[in-house]
Structure 1
């Protein structure tokens, strides 16, 4: 299974915001430079995170993006679902309904993976990493 680059950038951005300065806005240009991506591309990802209520944008000379309240509870799964959606990774192509034994195995594996990602918060991980602002 593979997540998109957008998920990679979203997770890294959220970790950076969490570890660096959760209450201080950081400009999109600075975030983009840190990730080595264009500000335009990163802005599209940030817009999804804003719509999901994880971050907020602050305008003005000291503007940028910062975490919203309750950021301590944001899990890896929250971010992944925001970028990738909630669809299953496997879709049985045969027409035998929900009785597909293969689909049941894959769904069980996805549930276990999602449980793990749901229990891993960025706040916990941020305690383990050092970030230069």
Structure 2
């Protein structure tokens, strides 16, 4: 997984602390993290295409959540950034081993392929079972000053 997933998840959580009609420009979010604006904007656009964020043009424009935090899973964000393909793709390397392989689908019969598929499903279930709201609640419990500090920092960034 690329670090873009981490930036996207943090951005979504930080956007939960904005006022409902407030939006943050990509440049301001990028400055918040000390990232190149073009890099973060690419991730934010992917989130917008996936219906996780919405963007508004103009002087008061920027990005905000398109759905309630309870309705955005961690898997939604990962999939928006990384795509929906499985992390492990069985290439059926056993076909190269000695023996007759005609008509055998190793993706179904290979123990390694089956093990990796089970792990992938467990990982996806775990991510699908946690929402941005869940992460937000945990952050607020562990560090109650984070929402206010985040809003303050966004308000005082130069961009």
Q: After superposition, where does 1:22-101 map in structure 2 within 5 Å?
A: 23=20, 24-93=22-91, 94=93, 95=95, 97=105, 98=107, 99-101=109-111
1-structure distance, mates of 2:126, 2:73: 10
Q: Give yes or no for the alignment of 1:110 onto 2:120.
A: yes
CA RMSD of superposed structures (Å): 1.5
Instruction: Give the number of equivalent residue pairs.
Output: 130
Higher mean Cα deviation, 46-55 or 95-104? 95-104
> Which residues of structure 2 form unaligned runs of 5+?
96-103, 140-145, 152-159
Q: Which 4+ runs in 1 deviate beyond 4 A?
A: none
Indicate conservation of the 8 Å contact 2:71/2:131, yes or no: yes
Secondary structure at 2:55 match in 1: strand
In the aligned structure 2, how far is the partner of 1:14 from the partner of 1:36? 16
Unaligned runs of 5+ in 1: none
Q: Aligned to 2:90, what secondary structure does the other structure show?
A: coil
Structure with the greater alpha carbon radius of gyration: 2
CA contact (8 A) 2:69 2:131 kept: no
